[in-house]
Amino acid sequence: MDGNGRWAQLRGRPRLFGHHEGAKRVKEIVRACPELGVDYLTVFAFSTENWKRTQTEVAGLMRLFKRYIRKEATNLHEENVRVRFIGDRVRLEPSLVDLMDGLELMTAQNTGTNLTIALNYGGRDEVTRAARRLAHDVKAGNLDPRQINDETFPRYLDTHVLPDPDLVIRTSGEARISNFLLWQSAYSEYEFIDTLWPDFTAKVFAEVLARFGLRERRFGAVKA
């Protein structure tokens, strides 16, 4: 969800204003998913690299995450949305982690849109943490090294209960993946668009999905 800060600066407003507008856009996109046939939506809210931003912006984002969860928890539950968080929670404030845990528990039985929020997430960090857990199981005698393959390893990832993404959308005109779902997106389709996230409406989402629907996905094979 890139471009919040630039969107605000273009309007002569502080970067945090853009993040608040971006949070509103998340609500619209989540609500559009059922009609658009999207069962799983993952949004990249805060990366392991975003701690490098100014203390003011980071603190403002953390307050925004808390506010979003408190404000939207009931709505998400009533709309049958299942919420999960991925990323390393160790560095996050305990009060934020408590809110995340509570929202996951509240929506655990919901059967509608699966919303995953990547918070303090980085693809390399995720793979590193997964390898550490795998190594621990090998050391403890719970896993034979000969059993490790491309089906075993994903069980240790944050996304072990989720399907791999079919489509990854990067907003704001940046043409890079920025450490997002590195293992999972091996065969994902990518769409890089110039739209800044606060301008990414349900209509734009539908247009991107329509283009995705025209793509031929071969997963390394050759069409017969």
164 is catalytic: no
Q: Compute, in degrees rounded to 10, the torsion defined by CA atoms 170, 172, 176, 177.
A: -30
DSSP state of 182: T
Tell me the backbone φ, ψ of residue 90, rounded to 5 degrees.
-60, -40
Q: Compute, in degrees rounded to 10, the torsion defined by CA atoms 42, 78, 161, 68.
A: 40
* Annotated catalytic residue, options 39, 50, 88, 199: 50
194 is catalytic: no
* Annotated catalytic residue, options 2, 4, 114, 158: 2
Nearest-10 crossing angle of helices 55-78, 15-36: 30
Alpha-carbon Rg for the chain in angstroms: 18
Token pair belonging to 148:
């490790």
Q: Are 31 and 207 in contact (CB under 8 A)?
A: no
Q: Which residues contact 90 (CB under 8 A, 6 or more apart)?
A: none
Distances in Å between the Cα of 216 and the Cα atoms of 182, 186, 212 are 22, 16, 9
**Catalytic residue list:** 2, 50
